[in-house]
Amino acid sequence: MADAERLLVLVRHGQSEWNLKNLFTGWRDVDLTEQGIAEARAAGRKLKAQGIAFDIAFTSVLKRATRTLDLMLEEMGQKNLPIIKDQALNERDYGDLSGLNKDDARKKWGEEQVHIWRRSYDVAPPNGESLRDTLARTLPYYVQNILPRVLRGERVLVAAHGNSLRALVMVLEKLSPEGILKREIGTGVPIIYRLAADATVAEKKDLAA
């Protein structure tokens, strides 16, 4: 499968219980909903239909990402794939917002302030991380641990979170801080990248449909 060399696939976890309840989740360890389980299984089936098999997978230490990965691999018939878990791939830490309903947070701090925390690049919520902070831990991990494997020709799957994956997408797609804030990453949607030898993207395919 020469065409599968330098393959990197990113998948955001399926819908979580707190996504459904409109709560800030961050590092809180919540599970998938029934819909999230279905999204994870569907992602595995989509990748299998593409004829893709992986050499290794990376994920965060949070249940919603690890379970998504397990369900995908089950659908692909790759349950014995080596998996590396690291908190560098965890979701952005929302600090004092964690566990709060987004509407309640708006009542407490005001619509504008909550919008700034959610959608600015470098403003962190109280005791939490900005998107820039999340990039600062996720990108070095990618460069040191994930990218070298891809460039060696290994086929790598990463199951993580909206904001930790934004860090990788920002680099892969050469997006500005403003551009990455507008980039939505759907739950359970595989994004397939084939990289050139210089680590730039030669081809991208989004399996949202």
SS3 165: helix
Q: Which residues are catalytic?
A: 13, 91
Helix axes 34-49, 63-76, angle to 10 degrees: 40
Burial per residue of 43-67, b for 16 or more beta-carbon CB atoms within 10 angstroms, e otherwise: bbebbeeeebbbbbbbbbebebbbb
Provide the domain count of the chain: 1
Please tell me the pTM assigned to this model.
0.94
Which CATH number characterizes residue 159's domain? 3.40.50.1240
User: Which structural domain range is residue 171 located in?
Assistant: 2-195
Whether residue 201 is contained in a domain is answered as no
Whether residue 204 is contained in a domain is answered as no
Whether residue 25 is contained in a domain is answered as yes
Whether residue 202 is contained in a domain is answered as no
Whether the per-residue pLDDT at 128 is higher than 60: the answer is yes
Whether residue 190 is contained in a domain is answered as yes
Whether residue 200 is contained in a domain is answered as no
Task: Quick: pLDDT tens for 151-189.
Answer: 999 999 999 999 999 999 999 999 999 898 888 899 999
DSSP state for residue 88 in the 8-state scheme: G
Whether residue 207 is contained in a domain is answered as no
